[in-house]
Structure 1
Amino acid sequence: MSQTKVHVKLDGWGARPVPLRFLALMRPRQWTKNLLVFAALIFSIRQANMAMLGQALAGFVLFCLVSSCVYVLNDFVDRERDRMHPEKKYRPLASGAIHPQTALLFGFVLLACCLLLAFRFQFAFGCVLSVYFAVNVLYSLKLKHVVIIDLIIVASGFVLRAVGGGLVIGVPLTPWFLLCTMLLALFLAIGKRRHELALMQSGSGSHRKVLESYSMEMLNQMSVVVTTATIMSYALFTFTAGHTIHLMWTLIFVLYGLFRYLYLIHMEGKGGRPEKLLLEDKHILLTVVLYGFSVVCILLFL
């Protein structure tokens, strides 16, 4: 109990309003991952209208809230191990700012409301959202401790986001795009594991048991395979997606973004929080903006 009080004092949670504590529990910074819901809308820009934009926005909000329910459950399960992590020990549950049972009740009510709205909005989308939550529950309770499977489960969450984004606006996504999404998510997950393994070897991040089954050499080899496959899959997507062949010019942004991320992982020791790098690294942020802008312009005018 004394350790929990120290964490609260260090992070200043005791002086913060309760709504801010629950907002932090929902991890709004990680909502950037759900921007993938808009992918189908972007690649269907010629047929897009305000109704489709509204549907995509609704899907994005629901994915954000359901993903927050996953984070609540994950923090509840990992609260003891998180207290040994140099950064995660300041999370609301690990620090003691929110009572565990209160957080669990909050997550359950939020999830029930979101799934009810999702099924009323569109049955297929509600099913995808339910599968997304169920898979992540399995991940939080068991699968995150299974080597390699833990990476695949993380990547599958991004594929479900992309599929959900297509369902809410009634646009099917090509297999090549879904494969690109899966591989890119694997690329980010491998980079995150590598960062966590580096922390564990330095003695400051030994809270994740599955890291004992990985090595730097193994993760580096996996990264090479996935990076190569991502580039090849995206190149094939630009030629086979049924859009203009000029989409191939956006490959330069994909190449630079991947290589920049590898630079940050290997040379600067980053990669533990991909959503943080997206917002804080100006090179990657600018690359994402230019990529999105170029895709829209090519699809509209070429």
Structure 2
Amino acid sequence: MLERPQVVEPETGTRRRRGLASGIVRTARPRQWVKNVLVVAAPAAAGELFSWHALTQLAVVFALFTAAASAVYLINDARDAEADRAHPVKRNRPVAAGQVPVPVAYAVGGVLAVLAPAGAALLCNPMTALLLTAYVAMQLAYCVSLKHVLVVDLVVVTTGFLMRAMIGGLALGIPLSRWFLITTGFGALFMVSAKRYSESVQMVGKAGATRALLTEYTTGYLRFVWQLAAGVAVLAYCLWAMEEGGVASSSLLPWRQLSMAAFILAVLRYAVFADRGTAGEPEDVVLKDRALAVIGLVWLAMYALAVVDW
């Protein structure tokens, strides 16, 4: 009795499609999506976070910014696929490894780059759409050329973080405080320059192998930048916290001023890793260091109490 031949093509095709979808998601860098939580920063600072409208709008903004950032990652990996194949680590990226074809990465990235600002225009407001458009344009320019320009690369990456912090406020029509912008901007520069410093320290003698621009920076210069940025961020936060207009007479304790201690401790704790040259992955430092996590929770509690008392 003859056995009926097994049909494996549909299963193979399904597996291939699943592999492609998995590769696209991996290229979109899910670990980096935690950065987009910054979209709640401005509404939280203004005490306008806990309403159904705000939460719904911020969820939309988070999704749109994640789509915009994913578009940049996809296009960047498609553009750098040939170079990544020669790198011992980056060659495992889905595009470089061939799991995601270069044309597919370009196509998906292009669609997301268009849909994110268009979605912001439909679901939010023109200012939100304008900021997302500027973010995508700036990041694509970074992928093409700006990442090779000394100092400008630090400014572009820092501005990306600042845009994340601003967009929630723009979507909800919340005025952005000058102290909020200064603290956020220099706090981001602190983390970005500490990351570059750590990469430079860890790749002494072979810096160009991972990031060509590192050969043009000195560790002394990068140390100066992250120390300057940390100082300005702390000063701006303290000036904001000491403003008399933010202290309510009904408050039992000056939570706003007390939060300065936790903020400064958090900066000092993060600086330990920066100084050691182990702050190359900021998300790992923030999420894996227990002391920093505890300090962050204490600061968050004090800040929340200060906002409630306003």
| TM-score grouping bracket, smaller chain normalisation | 0.7 to 0.9
Contact residue 116 and residue 132 of structure 2 kept, 8 A: no
Residue matched to 1:97: 99
Q: Does 1:63 align with 2:65?
A: yes
TM superposition score normalised by structure 1:
0.87
Q: Which amino acid in 1 is paired with 2:100?
A: I
Contact residue 26 and residue 72 of structure 1 kept, 8 A: yes
The one of 136, 139, 142 equivalent to 1:139 is 142
Residue matched to 1:54: 56
C-alpha distance in 2, partners of 1:248/1:83? 51
State the Cα deviation string for residues 154-184 of structure 1 (Å, max 9, x = none): 1111221122110111111101111111101
Q: Which amino acid in 2 is paired with 1:275?
A: E
Residue matched to 1:186: 189
Q: Which amino acid in 1 is paired with 2:265?
A: Y
C-alpha distance in 2, partners of 1:283/1:205? 34
After TM superposition, give the deviation of residue 71 of structure 1 in Å: 1.3
Contact residue 40 and residue 165 of structure 1 kept, 8 A: yes
After TM superposition, give the deviation of residue 259 of structure 1 in Å: 1.6
Contact residue 40 and residue 168 of structure 2 kept, 8 A: yes
Stretch deviating more after TM superposition (20-29 or 197-206)? 197-206
State the Cα deviation string for residues 68-112 of structure 1 (Å, max 9, x = none): 111112222333443455543322123332111111111111222
Residues 1:289 and 1:96: Cα distance change in structure 2 (over 3 Å): farther
Q: Secondary structure at the match of 2:133?
A: helix
C-alpha distance in 1, partners of 2:90/2:289? 21
Residues 1:89 and 1:252: Cα distance change in structure 2 (over 3 Å): farther
State the Cα deviation string for residues 36-72 of structure 1 (Å, max 9, x = none): 1101221222674211111111111111111111111
Residue matched to 2:129: 126
Q: Which amino acid in 2 is paired with 1:266?
A: D
Contact residue 166 and residue 176 of structure 2 kept, 8 A: yes
Contact residue 85 and residue 204 of structure 1 kept, 8 A: no
Paired residue total: 289
C-alpha distance in 1, partners of 2:83/2:265? 36
Percent identity among equivalent residues? 30
Residues 1:55 and 1:46: Cα distance change in structure 2 (over 3 Å): closer
C-alpha distance in 1, partners of 2:93/2:246? 44
Residue matched to 1:261: 270
Residues 1:278 and 1:88: Cα distance change in structure 2 (over 3 Å): farther
Residue matched to 1:175: 178
Residue matched to 1:210: 213
Q: Which amino acid in 2 is paired with 1:49?
A: S
Stretch deviating more after TM superposition (271-280 or 171-180)? 271-280
Stretch deviating more after TM superposition (178-187 or 81-90)? 81-90
C-alpha distance in 2, partners of 1:148/1:192? 14
C-alpha distance in 1, partners of 2:39/2:48? 17
State the Cα deviation string for residues 193-234 of structure 1 (Å, max 9, x = none): 112212432537623221121011111122221111111111
Q: Which amino acid in 2 is paired with 1:247?
A: R
Residues 1:15 and 1:261: Cα distance change in structure 2 (over 3 Å): farther
Structure 2: gaps (5+ residues): 1-15, 248-253
C-alpha distance in 2, partners of 1:260/1:89? 34
Higher relative contact order (CA 8 A, sep 6+): 1
Q: Which has the larger radius of gyration?
A: 2
Residues 1:300 and 1:131: Cα distance change in structure 2 (over 3 Å): same
Contact residue 70 and residue 137 of structure 1 kept, 8 A: yes
Residue matched to 2:7: none
Stretch deviating more after TM superposition (276-285 or 56-65)? 276-285
After TM superposition, give the deviation of residue 148 of structure 1 in Å: 0.8
C-alpha distance in 2, partners of 1:87/1:286? 33
C-alpha distance in 1, partners of 2:208/2:291? 28
The one of 258, 262, 268 equivalent to 1:249 is 258
Structure 1: gaps (5+ residues): 1-13
TM superposition score normalised by structure 2:
0.85
Q: Secondary structure at the match of 1:171?
A: coil
Residue matched to 1:38: 40
